[in-house]
Structure formats: structure tokens, C-alpha cells
Structure 1
Amino acid sequence: MGALEEAHLAAAVAAACACEEEDDDLELLAGEGEAAAAAAADDAIEPAVRALLVGLGEDELREGLRRTPKRVAKAFRDGTRGYKQKVKDIVQGALFPEVGVDKKTGSAGGTGGQVVVRDIEIFSYCELCLLPFSIECHVGYVPSGGRVVGLSKLSRVADVFAKRLQNPQRLANEICGALHSSIQPAGVAVALQCWHIPLPENLECKSLQGWIRTSHSSRSGVFEGENSTFWSDFMALLKLRSIDMEMDNHSVSISWCPLRSLEVPLLNGHCKKSAANGIISPKSVPTPSNMVSAVSSMLLSLGEDIQRKELLGTPQRYVQWMMRFRACNLDVKLNGFTLNNFSVYERPGGDKADHEAIRSELHLPFCAQCEHHLLPFYGVVHIGYFDNGSGEGIDRSHFQSLVHFYGCKLQVQERMTRQIAEAVYSVSHSGAMVVVEANHICMISRGIEKIRSSTATIAVLGQFLTDPSAKACFLQNVLDTPGLAI
């Protein structure tokens, strides 16, 4: 077994153990009543997920997918836990007396002084397509009655409503209304900056800047009115953190969910074809009715009303997203060479490689679907290879097609990195090196919520294995070449 195979096997075992441990830990933390309710929800969601996997042409019993229905059910249950939470249970007992100043001399403390909590990072699920979206929430309020609220409660109340199927404006309104009624302040201001993942072909992996970005706000009491000094102060305090909501106001005209704008759901589970510049969108193809029914049953198990107007068409849109990652067994051709199966783990001689022969294609964007949680992961691929002697490099479009082929399916990043490296090596025959950098939605939209985390994987074959200087040369090239960073 080659070094890359051993490393891949070790990573797979470690990942499997981590998943098992995480599942066990969550079950131990859950109370008996909560576990019973969760099991009932899982009974409906898990069969639905299995139906989706079969509809995608996958083998639900293969090792990587065997526990996927359970993991997806837990992710959805955690992502919608807000339906079972009440704001009054959070705020109750968290109001404290705080002496202010005479209103004639100014505003401070518990008497008219504004309090703002900025950069509350949360995730919610888009009710139009069931994909998670990222939120930076900023909450301000003006105390009244000489009482202030514990600061952590502001973020916890925001999280209650984020952990429901949402759209950004309703989320802002619900946070604002709940805080105003529970705290009874002089006023509440809520500002949201939201990012929705775009369609894979439109993804530009430049932090979250490639995502569809919109800004939304809601206000009550003293924050209302065009000439409110409290609102002006709120905006000014956000700008101290380089948050300019006024500059983002144009974003409200942008279609929030990209899947909503590309098709019109019908009652029979099919969609009208919508053309853009005369080209029929791939989203507009009919969706399998059994998969649509499976998603509808998932929504029902979460306690949602599938006849709610905002959810009409949601099952179809979610299935259309999933169908982008269906299993595909087509042959791939790279620059005229059909990929073959000869061993890519044979180490060539130890002679120093000619660094002039090293070619690279960097910052190739991709979007894939994690097969463990059925959530997207996206990022960039860097490919290095040795010229096979022809003196001509492989066109970038071929590499982009290769990345798309291995990315646009249910995947794990470790496997995708290896597959791309093997494909490139089968053409180069001398050496191939692949680095994949990605952000995983499953790392940030589930219970662990590691929002700033990113994952890098590397595969090294051929001369890159035997010549450390060649490897260093390629990595330095990645570092020195400006591009889209994740």
C-alpha cells in the first residue's frame, strides 16, 4: 500500500471515529424526554434521507453513507431547535436594576443609555431551499425603568429565531419584536448581514464575498422614525466595527434565494422551465415526485406547515439542489487522455526534478456536497504537475472540468483531493500535487458551530514525493499567486 493510500485510510478511520464519538456524546447529553422526541423525529427524517440517497443513484448501505440518515436527522433537529424554545424562558430572571443618570443631564446606565452587542455570528436554514445561511447579527436596545438585561441573552434570543426555517427580514422582525415585548425597553434595533450560498456554477470562493449578500434591519420604539437620533447612534456604533449598513441598502433588491429565482414550483412536483438568454436552466428539469414527497415528510416531522405560502415549492427546490450532486459514472477526458487505472503509487527514481518543468493551475473554485451530512462544502483547488515532455501545458478549462467532475457529487474532501491527484498523474506520468482548501457548512451550521474554521488537504504523487524542493516550489507558487482565498 502506498503512502497516500495509508494516509487516506488513516484519515478515513479517524473521521469515522470522530463521527461515532460525536454521535455518542450528543446522545449522552440529551435528556430522556428530549431523546424520545428526537427519536420520533428521526423515524420520519431518516427514511426520507434514504429515499433521497437512492434518488441520487447512491448506495445507501456503502460505508460513507451508512450513518448519513442519522447524521442528517440530527443536523436538522439541531438547526430547528428554536421551535421548541421560548424567549420568556431565556429572559426571565436576566433583568437587573442599574442606576442611570438624571434624564435632564443625559442618558446612561439604565436610563436611556443605548446598549449594542455586535457581531453575533449565527446560522439559520433558508425556508425557500433548506440550505443554511450565515448571519452576522447586531442588536441594540435602550433600557427603561432602570433595568438592563444580561448581554448574553440578546444573542440567545437571536439564536432562538435563527434556529427555525427563516428568511432574513422576518428573522430581523421576530428578534426585534421578541426583545421589545420581553424586556420592555424604550426601543430595540436589529441589523442583519446575511450570506446565502449561490448556485455552484456561480460560486466565487472569496471568503463569503462570493455568496449572495443582503442586509436587513428592524426597529421599534425610540429607534423608529427617519430622524431618530438613537438609530443614528446605533449606525455610528456599528461603523466603529467597519459595519456600514447604509452602504448595503442596495442589496434588498437582490433575489435572496438563487433557487427561487430560477424556477416556478407547481403542485404536481414539476417546475416551469425558465429561460435566461434563451438557455433553459438546469434547475428547471422535472424533479422526482418520490424525492419531493420525502422532503415534505421531513418538513412535517419538524412541525412545519408545508402549506405555508413561504414553503410552497421548498421541497422541489431542495431536491433540485440535491440533483446537482447525483451519482455519475461518465468517463472523463483530460486533454485528450482518458483516465486509466494503472498504479499511481509507484515512486520514480530519486533524481532531482527540473523545476522549470513544474506547471500549475491555481485557485480553481468548486462546490461539493458532504456525503456525511448532505451539506455543501466549497473552496479552491490548486494543481501542480510535471510537464510530460510535450512542452505544452494542459488548458485551465480541462482542469476546471476535472474539478467539477469530482466535486459535483456526494463527496468527502480527502477522497476528492486524492481522486484529482490520481487523474492528473495519469496524464502527467511524472508527478502530481493537489491542495484543496475548503469551508464546510457542516462545520459551522450544526452544534459545533466552528464558524471561522477551514480545512486543507494535500495529495502528493510521483516526483513531488521524492523531491522536497519540488514540493516546496509548488507550495511557494500557491502562496505567491494572488487569487480567491476562502
Structure 2
Amino acid sequence: MFLHRRANRGPQNQEGGRRMDKERIKAAVREILIAIGENPDRAELKETPRRVADMCEEIFSGLTENPESHLKIFNEKENDEMITVRDIPLYSVCEHHLVPFFGVAHIAYIPRDGKVIGLSKLARIVSCFARRPQLQERLTTQIADFLEKQINPQGVAVIIEAEHLCMTMRGARAAGCRTQTSALRGRMKSDARARSEALTLLASK
């Protein structure tokens, strides 16, 4: 029964997971245009369903992307000092309204047994988790939990600052308002001194 239900969920990618059904996206966008009172056959809108489908394939690529594919772990036996990376750009889509939120992620971690991640890989991991329908709170914890599981650091801290267009374009229309979320693991949570050092470094310009 489970296999039968899964087989009817939509196109599959080569790894057996769902891949983007661009034809359904195009049909849905056409219906939305009709529903809001537009003419989808108007010259300026005729290609819109295709463009939106192509865009979805790009901005939601994290749904079918394995973050472990971006791991590049080095063994630096002498390194047990805190590593921080600030201002990693991120773009995501709020799953409540399907409009973008964007900002930066800051990451700090204390290696264990010299296991460190290539700096550029941290940016790719952030992007992988961001490129899907998301909540900022969940995105923050997913990144922290992933790093904790993969490199087992002594501690890890992830802070995200982002502006949500669902707050600036509609509703409260609070232009410039930024939301900050954090996730602390290991010593970053239990050791006040380590936490203070991380927050100080991540806050510095």
C-alpha cells in the first residue's frame, strides 16, 4: 500500500525522491492568473507560467538536494579554537505566504578532534536548507542540528537575521523590520563563557 501511494505522488528523481512537476506548476499559475481576474493569454503573461515553473525549480532546489553532498571535512588536529563565519547570504520562501524572506546567517563552532568544515561549504549548506518553503525558526535549527550531527563539535551557534516580505509588502507593512533567530548546541548553550565569546564575535563588524 505504501509503495502504491508513493508511486502516485508525482515524478521521481533519480534517487527515488519527488522531483519538481513543472507542468503542474504551469497549470496552477495559469489558474491563479484567471482567479485574480487576469487574462493568462495576454501577450505579457503568456510565458509567465513557464517562467514561474523555472523559478520554482531554482528557488526550491533544496527540496531534492542532499546537504551532505556539500560536506568537506578536514582534520586539523591542532585546531580546537572557535571558528566563526559571518554574513552568509541566504534567500528563502516563507511557507505561510510563499513570498521571500532574505538576510544573513552567522555560524560559530568549536571543533572536536580537529574536525572542521571548508568555509565555502558552510555557505552551501545554508543555501541548501534555505531553498525550500521554510520558517526562519526551523531553518536556524536545521542548520545547527545538521552541523552538530555531521562534525560533532564541542559547540555550535547559528544566528539568522532576515527581512520577511510577508511583513513588508502586506499585513503590518513594517518596512525594514528584521527578525533574528538563534540556535545553540553543546558548549554554546551550556558554557556561558563560550556562548559570550561566540555572540561577541558574531556581533562584531
Fold shared by both chains (TM-score > 0.5): yes
CA distance in 1, matches of 2:185, 2:172: 37
Q: Would the alpha carbon gap of residues 149 and 201 (structure 1) be closer, same or farther in structure 2, given more than 3 Å must change?
A: closer
User: Deviation digits for residues 88-113 of structure 1, max 9, x if unmatched?
Assistant: 2221xx1112242xxxxxxxxx22x0
Q: Does 1:98 align with 2:73?
A: no
Instruction: Give how far 1:212 is off.
Output: 3.5
Query: Which letter maps to 1:46?
Result: K
- Does the CA-based 8 Å contact 1:95-1:150 persist in structure 2? yes
Q: Which residue of the other structure, out of 45, 51, 57, is the alignment partner of 1:77?
A: 57
1:205-220 matches, within 5 Å, as 210-220=175-185
- Does the CA-based 8 Å contact 1:157-1:179 persist in structure 2? no
Instruction: Give how far 1:133 is off.
Output: 0.5
Q: Which residue of the other structure, out of 170, 183, 208, is the alignment partner of 2:138?
A: 170
User: Deviation digits for residues 202-225 of structure 1, max 9, x if unmatched?
Assistant: 547xxxxx1442110001111013
Instruction: Give how far 1:135 is off.
Output: 2.2
SS state at 2:96 partner: coil
Q: Does 1:120 align with 2:84?
A: no
1:34-433 matches, within 5 Å, as 41-91=21-71, 94-100=72-78, 110-111=79-80, 113-197=81-165, 198-200=168-170, 203=173, 210-225=175-190, 227-241=191-205
Instruction: Give how far 1:234 is off.
Output: 1.1
Could you say which structure has the larger radius of gyration? 1
TM-score by length of 1: 0.37
SS state at 2:37 partner: coil
Instruction: Give how far 1:70 is off.
Output: 0.8
**Structure 2: where are the runs of 5+ without partners?**
1-12
SS state at 2:21 partner: helix
CA distance in 2, matches of 1:43, 1:239: 45
Instruction: Give how far 1:74 is off.
Output: 1.5
Compare relative contact order (CA 8 Å, sep 6+) and give the higher one, 1 or 2. Answer: 2
CA distance in 1, matches of 2:21, 2:53: 8
- Does the CA-based 8 Å contact 1:115-1:141 persist in structure 2? yes
CA distance in 2, matches of 1:87, 1:202: 35
**Structure 1: where are the runs of 5+ without partners?**
1-31, 101-109, 205-209, 242-486
CA distance in 2, matches of 1:211, 1:115: 30
CA distance in 2, matches of 1:202, 1:182: 39
Instruction: Give how far 1:114 is off.
Output: 0.5
RMSD: 2.1
Query: Which letter maps to 1:95?
Result: I
CA distance in 2, matches of 1:201, 1:177: 32
Instruction: Give how far 1:158 is off.
Output: 1.1
CA distance in 1, matches of 2:170, 2:185: 38
CA distance in 1, matches of 2:158, 2:185: 9
Q: Would the alpha carbon gap of residues 199 and 88 (structure 1) be closer, same or farther in structure 2, given more than 3 Å must change?
A: closer
CA distance in 1, matches of 2:126, 2:67: 9
SS state at 1:124 partner: strand
Instruction: Give how far 1:201 is off.
Output: 7.6
